[in-house]
Amino acid sequence: MPVLYAQTSGTQQTSSGQFVAIPGLSLTLPEGVGVATLVILNLPNPYAKGNDFPGGTLGISVGGTVSPVQATFTYNEQSPQSTGRMPTTLVVSVPLGPKPQTVQGMWYGVRGSNVIIDSPASLSAIF
């Protein structure tokens, strides 16, 4: 069973209000009409800062189009006293096409939040 894998290093963050790429989390899927791959975006230790129930939304872009399947985390307090970690994983089935496709991990801050990862995050594809 082939596996493709990408991993971040260092600290990454976004305060974008719309989907933007997570640097370092991109893969190229091979062609393969009639089959699908399981794509997994894993942020094991993200957190968010903000004063309006902060959080983040994760997505996967395939060939430049963001999948409607997304994952979101938010805090239960409007202005959290501390920024606890919010492990978040998104799993999406992606049909392969007649030519290679780029898959990109995406994210944005919920309600103006600043979303931060300071430990390795990963994007995997399992065939």
Predicted pLDDT of residue 82 = 86
Q: Is the dihedral of CA 72, 120, 97, 18 positive or negative?
A: positive
Predicted pLDDT of residue 24 = 97
Percent of the chain whose predicted confidence (pLDDT) is above 70: 99
- Mean pLDDT over residues 8-18, rounded? 96
**Options 2.60.120.760, 3.40.640.10, 2.40.30.10, 2.30.29.30; which CATH number does 3-126 get?**
2.60.120.760
Q: How confident is residue 83, by pLDDT bands cut at 50, 70 and 90?
A: confident
Percent of the chain whose predicted confidence (pLDDT) is above 90: 92
- Mean pLDDT over residues 93-117, rounded? 97
The neighbouring-strand residues paired with 91 are 40
